[in-house]
Chains A and B, each alone.
Chain A
Amino acid sequence: MFFRIVKDLVNSRGQMSVDLLIAVSVLVLSITMASYYVISAFVPYSGRDIDLQASAYRVAMILSEDGGLWVTSKQLLEPDWAQKILRNPNDYMTIRRDLKRIGLANTSTTYLIKLSYEVKIPCYLNATKVVLFFNESLWRNVFPPQPGYPYNYTLDELANLIGLNSSIRHYYYNVSLCYMNGSVVTLKNGKELSIGYPLYVKGRFIPQEFGKFERIVVLDNNKTISAYKYDPDNPPSDPSKCFLRLVVYVW
């Protein structure tokens, strides 16, 4: 057939038929489309990658921009969950029942009193909430390990409180508060502010496919945390020395 096409072109002095043009166009279209769709069939888990990135974004957003939710009464939810826990730190049943969402953002103190519990200040983290959130032993008491549960029950229950719902598929996650250079912030007693499944086991980075998202945040006080605090009443000329990175991995 190829020789016939060449022969026709030579015999007709560079002329070609409209039929041939249509045939070549359809052929090229088919081959290109088919090759791209075949390639797409061999790209594994691309949908899952999008899901992991979106999940990491969601967790980072909830932790840095939301103050959290604590059920005060049937009609009332308040964000001062850390204060509520500190009032009765050993009442694990109440924490389990009334804590609906964990957010680390401060609430405004400069607005009207009526609104003061409703206005969140994104990226301005409440140090008390931060210390409680990264206290894994507290969560182990609130959500004690369940025999026969295939994963870490404590961490999976905590995941539900930070917007990571594992009911359809199981998510592993790790949340850390880091200095700008990437090393993990510590409490003044040396404990690192990191919670979740470990990222490294025997020096090997565990997640094969993961979503990662970061937010730049500052702390409202540093009584127990080894980091600069950011005081809006007396801000430093170089505020970046107060900047911290809230790093979320989901896999």
Chain B
Amino acid sequence: MSRGQMYTLEALLASLIIFGVVVFAINSSPKFGTETKEFTTLQLKKYADDILEILDLENSTHESLLSKWIESGFKSSTLNWTAIELNLRKSLGVMMHVEVLDPNGSLVYSFGPPPPRGAVSSFRVVPVSTPPYAYEVRLYLWYV
């Protein structure tokens, strides 16, 4: 065997090293297009934030539409998520999923198809006048 040489099987290790070098080089190079993706995600996040902000607007007695809806037992006659979903899908091309969790983290209400990977979420803790006094409303949005 010549000195300073290695066997064919060890060439596998060599190819792995070369592959690692290529991956390192690609990852350490400047990226393009990520800014646009970040702003697209930010836009979706702000849609979700704004919708929850509006639904949780307090009236003169410190109640909001969200708190009234939770206290009503999630009645669609108080808050119609189907109509909101239809409007968002038609006008913005956005799908939605709503979840309500109690303070123990248990799911007490769910609306819409399960959110896919990459869906953007926003949440709001809504105080109510009856026990357990607070619920977390989560809104997931994603582009159709």
Contacts and interface: CB of A to CB of B under 8 A. Distances in A.
Contacts of B110: none
A132 interface: no
Interface string B1-14: 11011111001001
A240 B28 CA distance: 45
A110 B39 contact: no
B58 A110 contact: yes
A213 interface: yes
A237 B32 contact: no
B106 interface: no
Interface string B43-69: 100110011011101111010110010
Contacts of B47: 214, 216
A149 B83 CA distance: 50
B53 A181 contact: no
B78 A239 contact: no
Interface in A88-131: 109-110, 121-124
B21 A216 contact: no
A5 interface: no
A6 interface: no
A235 B62 contact: no
A217 interface: yes
Contact of B26 (A12, A36, A239): A36
A32 B29 contact: yes
Interface string A8-42: 00001111111101001100110011001100100
Contact of B18 (A24, A40, A46, A64): A24
B107 interface: no
A239 B54 contact: yes
B65 A235 contact: yes
B30 A37 contact: yes
B108 interface: no
A241 interface: yes
Interface stretch (A49-57, A134-142, A185-193, A195-203): A49-57
Of B4, B17, B50, B60, chain A has the most CB atoms within 10 Å of the CB of: B50
Contacts of A46: 32, 35
A172 interface: no
B43 A49 contact: no
Contacts of A57: 39, 42
Interface of B: 1-2, 4-8, 11, 14, 17-18, 21-22, 24-26, 28-30, 32, 35-36, 39, 42-43, 46-47, 50-51, 53-55, 57-60, 62, 64-65, 68, 76-80, 83-84, 87-88, 90-92
25 contacts: A15-B1, A15-B2, A15-B7, A16-B14, A18-B4, A28-B18, A28-B21, A29-B24, A32-B22, A32-B26, A33-B29, A36-B26, A37-B29, A110-B58, A123-B54, A180-B91, A180-B92, A215-B46, A216-B54, A218-B57, A232-B64, A235-B68, A240-B87, A240-B88, A242-B54
Given A13-B8, A29-B25, A232-B64, 20 more contacts: A12-B2, A15-B1, A15-B2, A16-B6, A16-B14, A28-B18, A28-B22, A29-B22, A32-B25, A33-B25, A36-B29, A40-B32, A46-B32, A109-B60, A214-B46, A230-B57, A232-B58, A233-B59, A235-B65, A239-B55
